[in-house]
Amino acid sequence: MSEHLTILPILLPLIGGLLLLLPPLGTNLVRQRAGALVVAVLTLGCAIALLLQSQQAGIQLYVLGNWQPPFGIVLVADRLSTLLVLLTSVLGLASLLYASAGDDRTGAHFYPLILLQLMGINGAFLTGDIFNLFVFFEVLLIASYALLIHGGGKQKTQAGFHYVALNLVGSSLFLFALGILYGTLGTLNIADMSTKVATLSDGEKVLARAGGLLLLAVFGLKAAMLPLHFWLTRTYASACAPVAALFAIMTKVGIYSIYRVHTVIFGANAGDLAFMAQPWIWPLALLTLLAGSIGALASPNLRELTANLVIVSVGTLLVSVALQSKAATAAGLYYLVHSTLVCAALFMIADLIGQQRGKACDRFVMSRKVRQPALLGIMFFVAAMAVAGIPPFSGFVGKVMLLQSADSTSEMFWAWPAILISSLVTIVALSRGGTTLFWRRSSDKTQADPASPWHIAAVVVLLAAAPLMVVLGGPITAYTAAAAEQLHQVPASLDLLLPGGSS
């Protein structure tokens, strides 16, 4: 079984999703709920085992059909990909727990779609081939199209139309980029591309540069990098809470792809094309931070505020990409895990607050008192402290690591003010929002039901990461440092990643 462990995070959600469409599971919501939770737990167990295996035995290469790379389809389980598969599994389980309180009743095929999206996300993290990255992108996007409009409504339909249209354009550009790079390099295997990009002629380098920058635009659209970020706020704010929480990792798929392509293929060993995206990423990272911060201050409700905080996290992660060092990558990976889990928790908290405030929902206006002010107040406070980067929570550790990774004076000049000011803006926006939600209330008594134990369990699972990532800071930072080392040391991995030799 251990030799097939790499493919299980893809196969389990795929098979589970298909079975939940068929009788007897597909005809009973309770059975679907139980089946999805079982699949999520099994996937989480496989993700933990895969992470431990990659930590102890090194990179795991899974060759489908015994067609050796660079010719066949391969899955690569290294420290980076297994960390993100584990993150996806935790987030997927929390989303399913939250939906089990009743959100799954508002539309058809909720659980199969969630599992198929988990399959697509895990596949994107594990693939060793850019074309298959495109395939898994399409799988997760198709599932997300249906999940976005789960429950119906004009707002969801409008946001869904914009989301689908933009991603169809992005997918077309993705194919154009793949065609350019395949025509130039003769391969789409990531490891094989990294060996060939430095040997191109001058004319071929122009085409490879165009293809690489086109991929940056595609991944920037997926990651909500400015100026391609405008779709995110309305899309995430419109989705139901468990879907919005799962969507918190969608932007990180784009960030992960930028890490892979512009560190492995167009990194230090790419000759004249080395770090060609860095001059573009620096200003775009800072402008993304600025756009997210302004959006957070202008947000009329907690859902949109959280969506803008996702954009802030994307800008912060792009800074780690722009710094192009092992320390910055390690800090970025720590911050990526933290920001994904905390923002997902905030989407759920916003939904719980909205359910208990009546017609005001989660808007920053005066309304009746929430049914459980102590419980929801503590949840909101912990999430706000963590996402703003205030000690003793994980956001503080991640941002300090990122600030420390800026070595030169010029890097400090650009990175430090942007990160610190965005943190200040986040504190101001969340303080204003929390004050309005919990203190500006009328004398009317609420008739809302208390939060379901399923809801509470899901939020607690996600919020527990904020203190746990500090308590376990030593092992986690050591792991992210090793993952960054593995990502940047491409030549040391080539004998394993290309056992069949380069084409």
DSSP codes of every residue in 123-161: HHHHBSBHHHHHHHHHHHHHHHHHHHTTT--HHHHHHHH
pLDDT at position 503 over 60: no
Span 467-486, mean pLDDT?
Answer: 94
0.85 exceeded by the pTM?
yes
Q: Which of 211-215, 268-272, 375-379, 481-485 has the lowest mean pLDDT?
A: 268-272
pLDDT band at 379, cuts 50/70/90?
Answer: very high
CA 49 to chain centre: 21
Task: Give yes or no for a contact between 125 and 221, defined as CB atoms under 8 angstroms apart.
Answer: no
Q: Which residue has the higher pLDDT, 449 or 431?
A: 431
Q: What are the start-end ranges of the H helices in 265-372?
A: 278-298, 302-323, 326-356
Span 113-123, mean pLDDT?
Answer: 95
Residue entry with tokens 């009317």: 444
pLDDT digits (tens, 9 = 90+) for 195-236: 899 888 888 999 999 999 999 999 999 998 988 888 888 889
Task: Give yes or no for a contact between 428 and 357, defined as CB atoms under 8 angstroms apart.
Answer: no
- The full length of the chain comes to 503
CA 437 to chain centre: 28
pLDDT of residue 75: 92
Alpha-carbon gap, residue 155 to 231, rounded angstroms: 13
Q: Which of 252-261, 360-369, 396-405, 449-458 has the lowest mean pLDDT?
A: 360-369
Element of type H or E holding 186: none
pLDDT digits (tens, 9 = 90+) for 272-298: 898 899 889 999 999 999 999 999 999
pLDDT at position 326 over 50: yes
pLDDT at position 61 over 80: yes
pLDDT of residue 70: 77
Pick left, alpha or beta for residue 480 (phi over 0 → left; psi -120 to 50 → alpha; otherwise beta). Answer: alpha
Q: What is the mean pLDDT of the chain?
A: 90
Alpha-carbon gap, residue 430 to 304, rounded angstroms: 12
Q: Angle formed by the axes of helices 302-323 and 326-356, to 10°? A: 180
Task: State which amino acid sits at residue 429.
Answer: A
pLDDT of residue 1: 56
pLDDT band at 73, cuts 50/70/90?
Answer: confident
Task: State which amino acid sits at residue 204.
Answer: E
CA dihedral 86, 114, 289, 414 (to 10 degrees): 30
Question: DSSP readout, 285-310?
Answer: HHHHHHHHHHHHHH-SBHHHHHHHHH
Q: Which of 76-90, 358-372, 469-483 has the lowest mean pLDDT?
A: 358-372
Residue entry with tokens 């500006």: 440
pLDDT of residue 444: 65
Q: Tokens in use for 404?
A: 């420390």
Q: What share of the chain is helix, strand, coil (3-state, %, to 5)?
A: 75, 5, 20
Percent of the chain past pLDDT 90, that is, above it, reads 62
Span 144-169, mean pLDDT?
Answer: 84
Q: Tokens in use for 176?
A: 């154009």
pLDDT at position 133 over 50: yes
Give the chain's radius of gyration (CA, Å): 22
Q: Which residue has the higher pLDDT, 409 or 284?
A: 284
Pick left, alpha or beta for residue 22 (phi over 0 → left; psi -120 to 50 → alpha; otherwise beta). Answer: beta
Span 411-415, mean pLDDT?
Answer: 87
Question: Regarding beta strands 74-77 and 60-63, do their DSSP bridges make them parallel or antiparallel, or are they unpaired?
Answer: antiparallel
pLDDT of residue 176: 94
Q: Which residue has the higher pLDDT, 443 or 316?
A: 316
Task: Give yes or no for a contact between 465 and 169, defined as CB atoms under 8 angstroms apart.
Answer: no
* Apex 384 CA angle, 378 and 387, nearest 5: 140
Task: Give yes or no for a contact between 245 and 94, defined as CB atoms under 8 angstroms apart.
Answer: yes
pLDDT of residue 2: 66
pLDDT of residue 214: 94
Alpha-carbon gap, residue 319 to 121, rounded angstroms: 23
pLDDT band at 120, cuts 50/70/90?
Answer: very high
Span 458-464, mean pLDDT?
Answer: 95
Task: Kindly list the distances between the CA atom of residue 204 and the CA atoms of 70, 187, 211, in Å, as whole numbers in the listed order.
Answer: 20, 14, 11
pLDDT at position 384 over 60: yes
